[in-house]
Chains A and B, each alone.
Chain A
């Protein structure tokens, strides 16, 4: 069946999120970008609306009628207002998805309730490393077997919300193997003496979404730390990343749309050479191209997340989606500045923030080459 129509419940939800975005997020967006963090009171309001429960199964405290697809739709609305807020508010995020998909019931009960009950707590997900190949499983972070557990050594980059994380889910290589086989997902408690949440990393954009370096030095974890209840660990890890790809793709498309909406609006107001600038066909077509790309990208994200929701492997769909979305979003934000001319370059308008945010977000789950590499290994597995 093909439908692009959200369910009735989702439509109601999106209405709520739209109001929340307008009343709460947008007024804080520019200030938060300068301040480097969101207004902390927003977390409570977000949780009061139950938005932190989307994408969590009902059995673990989520809301039954809402799936990961609902979560993606919600993230689009939020990211359209401020993607920094969308990320900073996503306390459960991919860390929680990893625990849901790969964890035992005991692990789920241990890790999830705190984040679902307490707005200021988070589960972090540590995947990126200095080595760009990390997303295909070429991790420099090692998990060595010791006793019943593991000893972790390595350095992770750009770990979102690590400062307030009770638990950090870490991907590390334990045995040799291709792709993600031999990679372990381990839960590290925040007060483990072997883990150091390093200094905050500052990026070009996403200024209000705090990310940190996380360093593991002879960090010992017990056997209970290993997320290994899924049938095919490697495949489930990839599926967690696929969820991230679809959702970040959707977030970035929303950033591009926010920028382009401003440009479309402005092009119908601003005059040059006796016409509205959109009446210069060269400029109209320039804008139209971005509109088409963003729409195509959005459809790719929907397909990817709907496959996840249906329990199907989403690797191909998600890799196509994130790369196309990132390209479309980055270009839309760059070109929206162009439509504004000199004014677009100034911090008085949000377009310049969208340009920094889109470029930064495009790298959050890895570069284009990394997703292509994953896709390559999936489509043409090494003999």
Chain B
């Protein structure tokens, strides 16, 4: 039976999160956008309320404790839960997702690929008092979309791996206790040469370079990480040596990089929808407050038509995300749907934000408003977690299944 209603348990989570966003996060987010970070009070007061909630795209993560909301929701619809939550977070402040202490972007890879000892040690490291984060370092100055082409190299020396290279645009890269780092034994081997490591914060040879000053998404830290003869113990190779040996295992590193997209892409898509909805709601409220008096009716009709179009697109995008998540929860292959949700959501949300700024006229482009922030935040959702064009290549490969389609 086709039914597109959020189940009650997820509704409860949604309403709870929405309340939190509205009462606690929204009031802080505009200043955090200026400062480039949340105040300490955020971590003392708000973050603990969210502990146990895994937003790592439903692909695992979460501390040893687990539990929290994921348990409350029942494990059957983990991906859908993340999607429902993701929209509210996008609505409140998308940087919230990455500011929330926990394994974050580093979680899924370790959860799925790490040895039991690695999981024990590194998830354990994030528990206890104080806000702690992990990060995920794949992108380099020379390779973002084309992850097979990374140049950061690693060589084994005795009981250690030595890493040399540079990672850029790494979310939480400077404050992370540990980072999942991709390197290669030989760039010519492509994916087959790649190795994945957990690198701890103060490892000698790892320095933090530039912290980026960005157009939007400003309250989330984006850092450069520089590896110069950075030595990590052999046991920090994610999954252990054996995971990279033999013919079948040749692409282990790449699989580690890619396998979470099926849940993380809809998550990024829906956060984009949340941002678009935030801008839409600001616009709608503004129109109601400002348009009645001197408005000629035909003109209102024109505005109303645009509002309807925005609604249509947001709803369609939301449903694409729900579908991709529903497929993930039901064990149905969803690579194409995940890419569609990631491509469509942030794309139309960018349009919605631009329309909102336009219709609000001079008010729309005032700095320090939610709409201004939405306009600046949304752009990156079409870039990270696979750009718009990369989603298009994935979808094209599924669509044109009788001829070989290459990304190159």
Report which A residues bind B (CB closer than 8 A). 128, 130-133, 136, 138, 140, 157-158, 201-205, 271-275, 280, 282-283, 286, 326, 330, 334, 337-338, 341-342, 344-348, 352, 355-356, 359-360, 362-364, 366-370, 372-373, 376
Q: Which residues of A contact B359 (CB under 8 A)?
A: 132, 367-369
Within 8 A of A (CB), among B303-337: 303
Residue B9 is within 8 A (CB to CB) of chain A in the complex:
no
CB-defined A-B contacts under 8 Å, sample of 27: A130-B290, A131-B290, A132-B361, A133-B296, A133-B299, A136-B296, A157-B362, A158-B362, A201-B366, A204-B375, A205-B365, A272-B149, A273-B408, A282-B392, A338-B383, A338-B387, A338-B388, A338-B389, A345-B212, A352-B214, A352-B215, A362-B357, A363-B360, A363-B362, A367-B358, A367-B364, A372-B302
Chain A's closest residue to B359 (CB) is A367
Interface of B toward A, CB cutoff 8 Å: 139, 143-146, 149, 168-169, 212-217, 290-291, 293-296, 298-299, 302-303, 350, 354, 357-368, 372, 375-376, 379-380, 382-384, 387-389, 392-393, 406-408
Besides A341-B144, A373-B296, 13 other A-B contacts (C-beta < 8 A): A132-B360, A133-B299, A157-B363, A205-B365, A273-B408, A330-B354, A341-B383, A342-B169, A342-B380, A345-B216, A363-B360, A366-B361, A369-B358
Name the one of B143, B145, B214 contacting A345, with C-beta atoms under 8 angstroms.
B214
Contacts of A131 in B (CB 8 A): 290, 293-294
Chain A residues closer than 8 Å to B303, beta-carbon distance? 369
> Which residue of chain B is the closest to A331 with respect to CB atoms?
B354
B96 to chain A, nearest CB (A): 18
Q: In the bound complex, what is the Cα–Cα distance between A133 and B56 (angstroms)?
A: 46
Q: Are B169 and A138 in contact (CB under 8 A)?
A: no
The reply to whether A275 and B213 contact each other, CB–CB distance below 8 Å, is: no
A128-B358 in contact given A338-B382, A347-B215, A369-B303 (Cβ < 8 Å): no
A280 to B146 Cα, complex, angstroms: 13
Determine the chain B residues whose CB is within 8 A of the CB of A372 once the complex forms: 302
With a cutoff of 8 Å between Cβ atoms, the chain B residues found around residue A271 in the complex are 146
- Given the interface pairs A342-B383, A359-B375, the reply to whether A138 lies near B294 with Cβ below 8 Å is yes
User: Which of chain B's residues have a CB closer than 8 A to the CB of A158?
Assistant: 362
* Pair A203/B358 contact, Cβ less than 8 Å: no
Q: In the assembly, what is the distance between CA of A370 and CA of B299, in Å?
A: 9
Q: Which 3 A-B pairs have the closest CB atoms?
A: A273-B408, A352-B215, A272-B146
Residues of B within 8 A of A370 (CB): 361
Q: A283-B389, A367-B359, A373-B299 are in contact. Are A132 and B290 (CB under 8 A)?
A: yes
Q: A205–B215 Cα gap in the complex (Å)?
A: 11
> CB distance B358 to A334 under 8 Å?
no
Q: Give A271 to B408 CA distance when docked, in angstroms.
A: 10
Query: In the docked arrangement, what's the CA distance between A214 and B392, Å?
Result: 49
Closest Cβ–Cβ distance, residue B115 to chain A (whole Å): 31
Docked-complex contact A203 and B360, CB < 8 angstroms: no
Residues of B within 8 A of A369 (CB): 299, 302-303, 358-359
Q: Are A204 and B350 in contact (CB under 8 A)?
A: no
Q: Are A347 and B213 in contact (CB under 8 A)?
A: yes
| Contact residues in B for A334 (Cβ distance below 8 Å) | 350, 354, 379
The residue on A at minimum CB distance from B354 is A330
Q: Which residue of B lies closest to A131 (CB)?
A: B294
